[in-house]
Chains A and B, each alone.
Chain A
């Protein structure tokens, strides 16, 4: 059974930093692109970042470029999102998701339950 479990969400002051983690199990982690998406309270879904199987390609939504870094450790079956220079508008539930597709990211076929990041003073 595919499982994705996020952790690391917290209350952070504006300008602060945080590292989110996602522990994957139930599939061959190193064979899949992986994704972070987010959902602000009461709002819709927003794709945030993708990373290729070997970490050689990464894509980010414009609003987080230069502030967020996606990474992975295939030996630990783990995905990470380093988030910095946090703003109030980054407040959201952050989801880890598995990406369907091998050479390209198509849709997201499995999602974790999410971890809440709150940016507030």
Chain B
């Protein structure tokens, strides 16, 4: 089974900050990685697929990069709506999520 590990688990930041979340896979997954945003009490929302492809309607301040075993999600200038929990998910072999990274207000 492929394990996904995100870091950090919690990130404290201010509006306007640039933030980066890392996701590591236990074995190579090529570019088969997606990122989701989940606000409290809401369903997850797809942000990025295939490691770096932005979903339609997602603000351009979100970007993804990486391949193989190491991936990053970056938010260039944090907005109030961005305080949420972010999950990575691999789809190279079955489907597994990282444990999540909570982005909270500093």
Contacts and interface: CB of A to CB of B under 8 A. Distances in A.
A100 B49 CA distance: 10
B46 A45 contact: no
Given A47-B95, A47-B96, A107 B46 contact: yes
Interface string B69-96: 0000000000000000001010100111
Contacts of B87: 44-45
Interface residues of A, number: 19
A46 B91 CA distance: 13
Contacts of B43: 95, 111-114
Contacts, number: 51
A110 to B, nearest CB: 8
**Residue from B32, B43, B89 with most neighbouring chain A CB atoms (10 Å):** B43
Nearest to A45: B97
B23 interface: no
A107 B100 contact: no
Contact of B89 (A50, A107, A112, A114): A107
B100 A44 contact: yes
Given A107-B91, A109-B49, 15 more contacts: A44-B87, A45-B87, A46-B97, A47-B96, A47-B97, A50-B95, A95-B44, A105-B91, A106-B91, A107-B34, A107-B49, A107-B89, A108-B34, A113-B42, A113-B43
Interface of A: 35, 44-47, 50, 59, 61, 95, 100, 105-109, 111-114
